[in-house]
Amino acid sequence: MFDTKRVKLKLEAVPFEDASEQYSLDGISLDELGDLFPEDPEHYLVHKGNVTVDGPMLVEYRHGKDDLTIYVIDGDLTIHGPLLMKNSDAYAALYVTGNVTCDNAYIAWDAQLFVAGSMTVKGLLATYLTDAGHFSIKGSLGAGSWLECGDRGCLEIGKQPKARLLRVGEHRYYVFGPYAKPSEGDDEDGDDEDDAEDPDRKFGFSPKQATPIVGILHPSLFDGEEDVNTGKLGEAMLKGKPLFADETATTSTQPAKQPAKQAKAAAKQPARKAKAAAKQPARKAKAAKQPAKKTAKKQPAKKTAKKPAKKTAKKRR
């Protein structure tokens, strides 16, 4: 589920009855635990305390290796790099009781992310969920830009998101929340079938409120003239490649490697200085062996005898 070399978690199994009560989805999602798991998991896996990750954090369920359950970080999650979360045909969930902060984020496929606090994405947030996927934030969502790629999945935000909205073609943002209003094409009086069935599930952002990606996203991320290649997008985040047209390569993957480079360079400095210092005595000794160059004495200036002035003969008459 996690890259254990980069993400240090002390996961403790908490029995389902205790964990489901302590880490309830009430107030975070309109769905229930039974919508994620056909059968209740035996336990939740819980890490107590804040978590800080230097570099990318990849969250991905591995069939046959990971427990199919809810993984809980009971605290804040801070990532100095991108968060990439993608599950395939599995609904293992990540539940954060505090706030989530990261440089960029890619939430895709059957991913299940539940945040009881707020989420801040400094750069680009991209969502590309299947019908079973959840991106549910109880508090506020802030992002430099938010790109919704798929028109599917369950996007639930407790407060009006603050982000520059980007869109692919005419895709809409199906966001559920108490602030959401019917978008273009819906019945303002609430007579729409879906609204009548569940009035809380209205989406609040139409294509008119979002900016097309052409000229904004980096050309390398396009699939055709207007569509985005989500596979390249996730890879670009992971490797720190440019995401926007006016952007050069980022350093999102560098923080973990940088200290090692600096330490290596620092270790070389004493050796270089010692080597240079060792050469100094040899150079001085060599200079001492060489005889001093004789300086020629200056010759006294020659005296120039003054010639008597020539007498001018008088002309005879």
Query: Does 280 map to a domain?
Result: no
Query: What pLDDT shows up at residue 220?
Result: 96
Q: How far apart are CA 92 and CA 113, in angstroms?
A: 9
Query: What pLDDT shows up at residue 169?
Result: 76
β 222-223/227-228 pair status: antiparallel
β-strand partners of 135:
113, 155
* pTM score, whole prediction: 0.74
Query: What pLDDT shows up at residue 21?
Result: 94
Lookup result for tokens 């369950």: 154
Angle at 308 between CA 307 and CA 309, to 5 degrees: 115
Query: What pLDDT shows up at residue 6?
Result: 87
- pLDDT of 186 strictly over 50: no
Average pLDDT over residues 263-277: 54
DSSP state of 217: B
Query: What pLDDT shows up at residue 199?
Result: 47
The CA dihedral of 107, 59, 223, 135, to the nearest 10 degrees, is -10
In this predicted model, what pLDDT tens digit does every residue of 204-227 receive, in sequence order?
A: 666 678 899 999 999 999 998 889
Query: Does 278 map to a domain?
Result: no
Query: What pLDDT shows up at residue 314?
Result: 43
User: What's the order of all strands across the beta sheet hosting 175-176?
Assistant: 12-15, 43-48, 70-74, 93-96, 112-115, 134-137, 154-157, 175-176
Query: What pLDDT shows up at residue 295?
Result: 46
Query: Does 250 map to a domain?
Result: yes
Q: Predicted confidence band at 268 (pLDDT cuts at 50, 70, 90)?
A: low
Query: Does 161 map to a domain?
Result: yes
Average pLDDT over residues 293-316: 46
Residue 212's φ and ψ, nearest 5 degrees, are -60, 150
Query: Does 289 map to a domain?
Result: no
In this predicted model, what pLDDT tens digit does every residue of 138-184 receive, in sequence order?
A: 999 999 999 998 878 999 999 889 999 998 877 777 777 776 665 44
Q: Predicted confidence band at 316 (pLDDT cuts at 50, 70, 90)?
A: very low
Query: Does 88 map to a domain?
Result: yes
Query: What pLDDT shows up at residue 253?
Result: 44
Counted residue by residue, the chain has a size of: 317
- CA distance from start to end of the chain: 133
More confident residue, 312 or 90: 90
Query: Does 121 map to a domain?
Result: yes
In this predicted model, what pLDDT tens digit does every residue of 87-135 receive, in sequence order?
A: 999 889 999 999 999 999 999 999 999 999 999 999 999 999 999 999 9
Q: How far apart are CA 158 and CA 136, in angstroms?
A: 8
Query: What pLDDT shows up at residue 210?
Result: 87
Q: How far apart are CA 275 and CA 269, in angstroms?
A: 10
Query: What pLDDT shows up at residue 267?
Result: 52
Query: What pLDDT shows up at residue 4?
Result: 84
Burial of 291 (0-12, 13-18, 19+ CB in 10 A): exposed
Residue type, 277: A
Residue 22's φ and ψ, nearest 5 degrees, are -75, -35
Query: What pLDDT shows up at residue 41?
Result: 94
Angle at 91 between CA 88 and CA 92, to 5 degrees: 105
Query: Does 291 map to a domain?
Result: no
In this predicted model, what pLDDT tens digit does every residue of 23-79 receive, in sequence order?
A: 999 999 989 888 888 899 999 999 999 999 999 999 999 999 999 999 999 999 999
Identify the three-state secondary structure at position 253.
coil
Q: Report the number of distinct structural domains present in the chain.
A: 1
Q: Predicted confidence band at 233 (pLDDT cuts at 50, 70, 90)?
A: very high
Helices and strands counted in the chain (H then E):
4, 20
- pLDDT of 292 strictly over 70: no
Q: Which domain holds residue 216?
A: 12-264
